[in-house]
Amino acid sequence: MKKTKSANAAVAAPKSTLKNMQKYKGFYLMFIPVLMFTVAFHYLPLAGISLAFTEYRGVKAPEFVGLDNFVRMFEAPGFWTAFLNTLKLSVVKLLLNTLMAVVISLLLNEIKNMAFKKTTQTIIYLPHFMSWVVTVSVFSLILSPSQDGLVNTLLVNAGILEQGQEIYFMGSKDWWTSIFYIINVWKDTGWGTIIFLATLSGISPELYEAATMDGGTRWHKIRYITLPALSNTIITVLILNLAKVMNLFESVFVMQNDAVIQQADVLQTYIYTQTFNSGALPNYGYTTAVGIVKSLVGCVLVLVCNQISKKIRGRGII
């Protein structure tokens, strides 16, 4: 009897699926271009992973070398410099941007004048739409060590620096990392507030009214109502953005120069240099191996963070 029921259920499942596909065929037709794009640009290129186990310079056919590319990679000091720089710059940037986005969202949420609030939101969103080339060009002028540099001029006029001792911030090993974080916070924080403001708008006003009746101050409302409501969103944003921490490229590439290469070289720029600026025919097998390691580390970071989320709040997002 049980076998008959399970057999009937197995037959009914495909029929039900076909009926649903026929009923919602319009949605399936709209999904086809997305599916084709995903397969063409995300799944078919996975066949190129095999190059990581070969020596391929684009002239002769790939020659199988086993794990030689990985051994060379782990023995190369330049790889480890780029790897550690990638982790440091990406993780700190992610934490700073998320923290500042939360802080600015809380401040914007406290503004009662809607016209002023919308104007402020628009202003802090605008940097996100500037290209990194334009952004770095603007900051290069502001931080220029010449007399035209605004920051150095202010420091000289304030007596902090003497004339002729201006700081070349973009080319200083001591200052480059801090400038990188500042520029990233300025450019991306405003855009990051969108999701947090959406969460804040969904908090019931009745909770704040009840807190007011109980004598709660503004700080009490933020601490016991607003921040707990934001916690799930913050964790979700962190986990999702962790998947991209190893893909740091454009923001670093446009700020790089020879004076700060030890602080500014990351895995993506390392791959770029090994491919196009190595001074010889590039070994695509080696750079493919570096790319695989980069992707695996990003995957591990997401899985670890997701497990931590499960331990803390009982669920993850994967």
Give residue limits of the domains in the chain: 1-55, 70-313
Residue 13: pLDDT band (50, 70, 90) is: low
Q: DSSP for 226-271?
A: IHHHHHHHHHHHHHHHHTTGGG--HHHHTT--GGGHHHH--HHHHH
Give the CATH H-level superfamily of domain 70-313. Answer: MetI-like (1.10.3720.10)
Beta bridge partners of 54: 64
Q: Going along the chain, which residue ranges are E strands?
A: 54-55, 63-64
Distance CA 300, CA 133 (A): 31
Residue 101: pLDDT band by 50, 70, 90 thresholds?
A: very high
Contacts with 35 (C-beta within 8 Å, 6 or more apart), sequence order: none
Q: What's the pLDDT tens digit per position in 203-245?
A: 888 888 888 888 888 888 888 888 888 888 888 888 888 878 8
Q: How far is CA 28 from CA 19, 23, 31, 32, in A?
A: 13, 10, 5, 6
Tell me what pLDDT residue 97 has: 92
Percent of the chain with pLDDT over 90: 30
Check residue 96 and give its pLDDT. 93
Local confidence band at 2 (pLDDT 50, 70, 90 cut-offs): very low
Average pLDDT of the chain, as a whole number? 85
* pLDDT confidence band for 15 (50 / 70 / 90): low
Q: Can you tell me the distance from the alpha carbon of 122 to that of 242, in angstroms, rounded to the nearest whole number? A: 27
Specify whether the CB–CB gap between 274 and 282 falls below 8 A: yes
Tell me: pLDDT of 169 over 50.
Answer: yes
Placement of tokens 């259920």 in the chain: 9
pLDDT in tens, 188-208: 888 888 889 888 888 888 888
Tokens coding 159: 């007596």
Q: Read off the pTM.
A: 0.83
